[in-house]
């Protein structure tokens, strides 16, 4: 069986890759090999087209290839809650957990991640527009030939 992984750098898909590489699938009687297919939308297109058997990727990515979830099923989660990190430059002197220090800042985020970040900030009482928090793509990290995980690292 082929497992598509859209990124070999970030922690986003690491549990599925580790399961394949460390023999966890084999112990369950499954012969699984992992294959890098980037971006996540392309990984789900490969699933739709029968090129791979399953995808270890962001659930929302399935909608790029499977309209209204027709033809695909979510089997499990690779992580719980928000598994992304918000990293700021050290010289800004921001203490861990000090979300108020984000006021007036620009934050680079992967597609879809920005939606979760906006929700997190709003839930914390920091509505991005009112607090001049601008969230957008990481410069140089867009396009079909760019691996966001490598660029962000």
| pLDDT given for residue 11 in this prediction | 77
- Report the first-to-last Cα separation within the chain, whole angstroms: 30
Indicate whether 94 and 132 sit together in one domain: yes
Inform me whether the pLDDT recorded for 90 exceeds 90. Answer: yes
**143 and 104, same structural domain?**
yes
143 within domain boundaries: yes
Q: Domain count for the chain, please give it.
A: 2
Note whether residue 80 is domain-resident: no
Q: Which residues contact 135 (CB under 8 A, 6 or more apart)?
A: 106, 107, 108, 109, 114, 117, 118, 128
Instruction: Kindly report the pTM of this predicted structure.
Output: 0.66
Tell me: do 29 and 62 sit in the same domain: yes
- Tell me whether residue 77 is in a domain: no
Statement to judge: residues 55 and 107 lie in one domain: no
Indicate whether 148 and 108 sit together in one domain: yes
47 found inside a domain: yes
Instruction: Tell me, yes or no, whether 12 and 65 share the same domain.
Output: yes
pLDDT in tens, 33-77: 999 999 899 999 999 999 999 999 988 889 999 999 999 999 988
Average pLDDT value for residue range 132-138: 93
Asked if the structure places residue 78 within a domain, the reply is no
Buried b (16+ CB within 10 A) or exposed e, 70-79: eebeeeeebe
Cis peptide before 39 (omega within 30 of 0): yes
| Between 114 and 24, the higher pLDDT residue | 24
- For residue 121, what are the domain limits? 90-152
Residue 131 lies in a domain: yes
Any bridge partners for residue 107, and if so which?
Answer: 135
Residues 33-48, buried b or exposed e (16+ Cβ, 10 A)?
ebeebbbbbbbbbbbb
């Amino acid at each position: 069986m082929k497992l598509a992984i859209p990124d070999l750098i970030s922690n986003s898909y690491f549990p599925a890759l580790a399961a394949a590489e460390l023999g966890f699938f084999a112990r369950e009687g499954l012969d699984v090999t992992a294959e890098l297919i980037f971006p996540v939308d392309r990984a789900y297109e490969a699933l739709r087209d029968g090129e791979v058997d399953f995808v270890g990727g962001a659930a929302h990515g399935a909608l790029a290839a499977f309209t209204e979830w027709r033809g695909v099923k979510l089997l499990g989660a690779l992580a719980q809650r928000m598994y992304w990190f918000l990293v700021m430059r050290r010289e800004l002197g921001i203490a861990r957990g000090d979300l108020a220090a984000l006021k007036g800042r620009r934050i680079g985020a992967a597609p879809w991640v920005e939606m979760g970040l906006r929700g997190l900030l709003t839930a914390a009482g920091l509505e991005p527009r009112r607090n001049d928090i601008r969230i957008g793509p990481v410069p140089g990290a867009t396009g079909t030939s760019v691996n966001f995980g490598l660029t962000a690292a």
